[in-house]
Structure 1
């Protein structure tokens, strides 16, 4: 592939390179192009050299693709010389890994990652910059963060023999102070992540809404200036009328415009484009995506994305194929080897621990078992059951999507838990049957072939 002539590259996959009617460059990868997409990389140490049983088969899958993608949900630095500090705002836990993780991720096969998530700023902009430096030093392309919003939102590029790949990364779940901004007048820009802000509402029945309206009328200093028939705001919380009680989200139009523009530009400079979102909404407890996300995924694919990948909820959600492009509404966890140390003082306080008598491991165990604030924690084995997705493209369209079930050792002792292995057949069947059920509302049919899920659009 590396020795293709200009003419061959111009006609890869049987299509001529050029602009489509929307002004975006068409997908233009060579036949046989493969994308591996996995979920959260919550890892605190190198894994390829410690002879974890079964991990070699996982690495073989990762190394076999043209593009191997995951969500970088930790920070990389040496605490002995680190100049930053744990932040008062953090993503539920202080994620940190040893500098050896950089070359180890490369050795696993990862060549492109997202880095916009709720843990980007656990250790402030210093931690973010150290992590970016570690990824750069090891030739791993990353997107979603930068010294200002323009950099954080920009597409980043990976060169492969079968085509140039763009990645646009954003996060709908993030700590407020981690959001990047551009310069304005004399004010400089702010380093951080590419954020997709969401306006959250609680959906209630019409009868409930009327009762809330009555409650608001009795509250002091309540304003009715902007009365809307189907919604009411009580103490800053928006309630709106609907048939089913639950949560609803509206994506910030300016953020969506910014993301679409960067995705279009990314595709114009690449042969293949990945859009990726880190979002926990409506919560880690939910096996269904938030109500805004399907329309957003379709819009991004319409704008030129060749795959849409969500990570964050820590468990699997359904898969859709839209216009010959895969949409993963959550690829779950890939590594949860969370032997994190050090732990900030705020986290000791959050779990009622005393750093003079309790250990970092005891704080981590408390967080994993009880969760942070409204999070249910990670007691349920469902958080330790996931997949490796392998998408193969011919004629620039998805022709086969293979799903390899993995398990992360829920029942293992703390020091060995969280490292992926291919799931044994009975568990693999259970994981895939759950994924069949979750994908059915999207019109997706998954067949099971000897413990591997297969989608053939």
Structure 2
């Protein structure tokens, strides 16, 4: 049987709200050339598409965050630039409820892009998406960690329809504390009358139910150890269901990609993936996936090669245009502290209004187009082509491309090939964060190279 060689292109989180197919700068056209120079091209859609007369109201109220909805015509530009298959499971999938979620699926299909990770019920949300390419059939399994309960897809039962939503990969957190800390916590819980036995946890664990989180159920679980540590693990039933989807994809396709969106972490978001992410990534690779891609923190993270297959823990942003979302609901203004009693006077130009844009960030505005060369199911070489979205990758995030003439400078947010020192900084971050996983990234002529032959 002839060996099947693959050339795969991967791009990060697409938060896009502006058409872009009319642009023709060489640094932008090169982006499209790299995406199209592949047997299959994947990206993550961190956006919803719908006409506003298809929607009822925002389904999510609490929390600080953008409400990600844009013009369905932009889906056609994603196809134009080269995307074949995209994940849609993320913490914004349910921003506009079932109507927005299902409309997004519809408009992506109309544009000719296969999606996975959301659906009309849990079976459809969990199932792989398949795209037929000249070189073979490609499958995508997409899941999300950190969504609230009402965003999870469910199965039909008792004459009731299943709930549309995301394919969840839930988590279990435990907190190991030393003996003195445990005594302090128990005393704290006793004095406030918030001690409650946890539903999960090892024998001897104790729980604390923080007021305000009671609506979400299980108390936090603590146990005594020799140090203080946050321990995160995949919810076993969700893990088993997602592994069944990977197994189906392996049997039904020639190349399997697993996309995992995670908006939670083991403490503050840093440069190291959480324990549950590493557990999930290794499990799906061992279960038959060829490529694992992670996203959700809007920053690039390290690269690991596990059993000859690549794990990309953080793809970072690829489009960063949430500043240009035109219809912003009441909840966003309220969450960011604007005077909602003056709501008719507030506009989408108000600042701050979107996470990640209120303070400088050297990781929000850059990532890479990743090209993989694979021999059957083993990766031979990985190329990292750095891109920027209108700010440089210094801690000050100096603006290089802006839109508008207001007091707050909006950043264009469209990917273009990074140049010079900025390109080197972007690639050096991959190099530094991949070293702990034993992955060597060399920088050659402005491109990151991982040779595995």
User: Normalised by the shorter chain, which TM-score bucket?
Assistant: 0.7 to 0.9
Contact 2:328/2:348, CA 8 A, preserved across alignment: yes
Q: Does 1:233 align with 2:207?
A: yes
Structure 1, residues 210-236: CA drift from partner, whole Å, max 9, x if none? 321232343437356989676431222
Q: Does 1:448 align with 2:443?
A: yes
2:194 and 2:30 mapped to 1: Cα distance?
Answer: 63
Other structure's SS at 1:47 match? coil
Q: Does 1:144 align with 2:117?
A: yes
For 2:302, the equivalent position in structure 1 comes to 318
Contact 2:55/2:96, CA 8 A, preserved across alignment: no
The 1:228–1:106 alpha-carbon spacing in structure 2 relative to 1, beyond 3 Å, is closer
The 1:261–1:213 alpha-carbon spacing in structure 2 relative to 1, beyond 3 Å, is same
Q: 1:266 aligns with which of 234, 241, 249?
A: 249
1:450 and 1:264 mapped to 2: Cα distance?
Answer: 40
2:49 and 2:120 mapped to 1: Cα distance?
Answer: 18
The aligned length equals 422
Which residues of 2 match residues 238-253 of structure 1 at below 5 A? 238-241=221-224, 245=228, 247-253=230-236
For 1:420, the equivalent position in structure 2 comes to 415
Which residues of 2 match residues 354-369 of structure 1 at below 5 A? 354=340, 355-363=343-351, 365-368=352-355
Q: 1:12 aligns with which of 2, 27, 40?
A: 2
For 2:365, the equivalent position in structure 1 comes to 384
Which residues of 2 match residues 42-191 of structure 1 at below 5 A? 42-51=15-24, 54-79=27-52, 81-89=53-61, 92-191=65-164
Contact 2:309/2:377, CA 8 A, preserved across alignment: no
The 1:317–1:240 alpha-carbon spacing in structure 2 relative to 1, beyond 3 Å, is farther
Structure 1, residues 96-134: CA drift from partner, whole Å, max 9, x if none? 111211110000100100001011111111111111111
Structure 1, residues 171-198: CA drift from partner, whole Å, max 9, x if none? 0122321110001222221111100111
Q: 2:239 aligns with which of 243, 248, 256?
A: 256
The 1:386–1:347 alpha-carbon spacing in structure 2 relative to 1, beyond 3 Å, is same
Relative to structure 2, which stretch is displaced further, 234-243 or 186-195? 234-243
TM-score, normalised to structure 1's length? 0.87
2:23 and 2:148 mapped to 1: Cα distance?
Answer: 34
Structure 1, residues 236-274: CA drift from partner, whole Å, max 9, x if none? 223345566453312111100100001101110111101
Q: CA RMSD in A?
A: 2.2
Contact 2:122/2:163, CA 8 A, preserved across alignment: yes
Q: CA deviation at 1:351?
A: 1.5
Q: Does 1:350 align with 2:364?
A: no
Structure 2, unpaired ranges of 5+:
210-218, 392-398, 403-408
For 1:19, the equivalent position in structure 2 comes to none
The 1:35–1:198 alpha-carbon spacing in structure 2 relative to 1, beyond 3 Å, is same
For 2:382, the equivalent position in structure 1 comes to 401
1:225 and 1:200 mapped to 2: Cα distance?
Answer: 11
Contact 2:11/2:315, CA 8 A, preserved across alignment: yes
The 1:393–1:286 alpha-carbon spacing in structure 2 relative to 1, beyond 3 Å, is same
Contact 1:148/1:190, CA 8 A, preserved across alignment: yes
The 1:83–1:436 alpha-carbon spacing in structure 2 relative to 1, beyond 3 Å, is closer
For 2:282, the equivalent position in structure 1 comes to 298
2:419 and 2:431 mapped to 1: Cα distance?
Answer: 18
Structure 1, residues 321-359: CA drift from partner, whole Å, max 9, x if none? 111111000111111022101001111111222332221
Q: Does 1:308 align with 2:289?
A: no
Other structure's SS at 1:444 match? coil
For 2:431, the equivalent position in structure 1 comes to 436
Q: CA deviation at 1:317?
A: 0.8
Q: CA deviation at 1:418?
A: 1.4
TM-score, normalised to structure 2's length? 0.87
Contact 1:183/1:190, CA 8 A, preserved across alignment: yes
Contact 1:90/1:175, CA 8 A, preserved across alignment: no
The 1:53–1:342 alpha-carbon spacing in structure 2 relative to 1, beyond 3 Å, is farther
The 1:268–1:284 alpha-carbon spacing in structure 2 relative to 1, beyond 3 Å, is farther
Q: CA deviation at 1:361?
A: 2.1
1:42 and 1:432 mapped to 2: Cα distance?
Answer: 22
Relative to structure 2, which stretch is displaced further, 210-219 or 34-43? 210-219
Relative to structure 2, which stretch is displaced further, 218-227 or 96-105? 218-227
